[in-house]
Structure 1
Amino acid sequence: MMLDFSSIVPYWHMFVTGAVFTVKASILAVTLGSIMGILIGALRVVPVKPIKGLAAAYIYVIRGTPLLIQLFLIYFGLPSLGINLPAFTAGIIGLSINSAGYVGEIVRGGIEAVPKGQWEAAKVLGLSYLGTMRHIILPQAIRNMLPALGNEFVTLIKESSLLSTLAIAELTMVGQQVRSVTYASFETFIMVGLIYLCLTSFTSIALQLIEKRWQVH
């Protein structure tokens, strides 16, 4: 079989637009998810069992259910409760909530990796729990978490393809639109896959540079 990409060349601008939209959605989702995840991860280590239990239950449920089902619950399920969200808003909320579950576990691991002596030193200095977490523990933990957080961002770029199920015009949805016009299914989705590969490769390289800059020798 001979591949012929000439039929999809006139739609190149659509691929670019879809890729830009995918990057924007991923950055927004990973930012919100990281904020939520840091909070959830911090709650996982507080010395209050009910709070720890709630945070652990959130992570358990989010990591144990498919992202697609979570998106459907938000976009198709909430209207039955009288809550109607635009597709883009529902998609970003779904991605953020899902990402927060994974980031929360990453944060928990990063916090627990900080030597206990740091907690004891902060206690001697008279710092409160929140002060210790904010000024001493989290800055060190985030440095330990960078590789895992980078992997989460790369994963989120790929998982954003599920937004196409909500008819959001990200890269995968654009690919489906181009395929429906050109009937060049193989060529179209090879192009989509290559663009995703470029996005994830560029992101991985950028994150590796950041890790090296933050590395403590």
Structure 2
Amino acid sequence: MSRRWCSSLSSIFFISSQLLPLLDIENRIAGATPETLRVLTWLFGPLELLPNFLSGLICLALFEGAYVTEIVRAGIEAVPKGQWEAARALGLHAGQVMGEVVLPQAVQKMVPALAGQFIALIKDSSLISLISIQELTFTGTELAVSSGRVFEVWLTVAALYFLLCFGLARLFGWLERRLGRYRRR
């Protein structure tokens, strides 16, 4: 198991055991109106698994957010200092420098890394099956156990992950090419 996955796994269990009791989710669900319960059930599935879902959501948001923040920071720092200085020399204020000069150049540099991170998020989401969230891996496990068709189920799960990741890779490739066209103008 990679270091990245181990730290994510420990984060999931920490959030489950420490932070969610502070949010008092179970009592909030118990005091909710029937309409609210119907909406929550429709959005998130069985309400007894809602704390697990929120735990996984918070964990993945924090975990992936740290990587995305680093990608954005690196993209902004990759813009040559001469661009910053030229924008200031033209009399642009700090917001204009960032919004009109630096960020358009930084976004072009960030897209490939953000694409990879977004695809990694899809794959990392399989970790949350360990806390009984009904996502693709969890459902595949249940189906393999109940049907006895382990190979067929896991082949299908792998194909679905491949389609998701390949489709996103193609989408981000198109976006990179489109941004590249604007850069050359």
CA–CA separation in structure 2 for the residues paired with 1:97 and 1:79:
14
Aligned to 1:137: 102
Aligned positions of 1:24-173 closer than 5 A:
66-79=7-20, 82-85=22-25, 86-173=51-138
Q: Which amino acid aligns with 1:172?
A: T
Shift of 1:164: 0.7
TM alignment of 1:160-199, pairs within 5 A? 160-199=125-164
| 1:47-84, Cα deviation, whole Å (9 max, x unpaired) | xxxxxxxxxxxxxxxx797111112111222245x334
Q: Which moved more, 1:185-194 or 1:125-134?
A: 125-134
Pairwise CA distance, 1:134: 2.8
Aligned partner of 2:175 in structure 1 is 210
Deviation (angstroms), 1:119 = 0.9
Change (3 A) 1:84 1:187: farther
Moved more, 116-125 or 82-91: 82-91
Preserved contact between residue 150 and residue 207 of structure 1 (Cα < 8 Å): yes
Q: Is the 8 A contact 2:20 2:55 kept in 1?
A: no
Q: Is the 8 A contact 1:75 1:84 kept in 2?
A: no
Give, in whole Å, the separation in 2 of the partners of 1:65 and 1:192.
22
**Which amino acid is the alignment partner of residue 153 of structure 1?**
F
**Within 2, Cα distance between the matches of 1:89 and 1:130?**
35
**How far apart are residue 138 of structure 1 and its match?**
1.6
User: What SS does the aligned partner of 2:23 have?
Assistant: coil
How many residue pairs were aligned? 154
Closer/same/farther in 2, CA of residues 168 and 153 from structure 1, 3 Å limit: same
- Residue 129 of structure 1 and its aligned partner are, at CA, apart by 3.2
Offset, 1:125: 3.1
- Give CA-to-partner distance per residue, 1:88-114, whole Å, 9 cap, x none: 222222111111111122112211211
Unaligned runs of 5+ in 1: 1-62
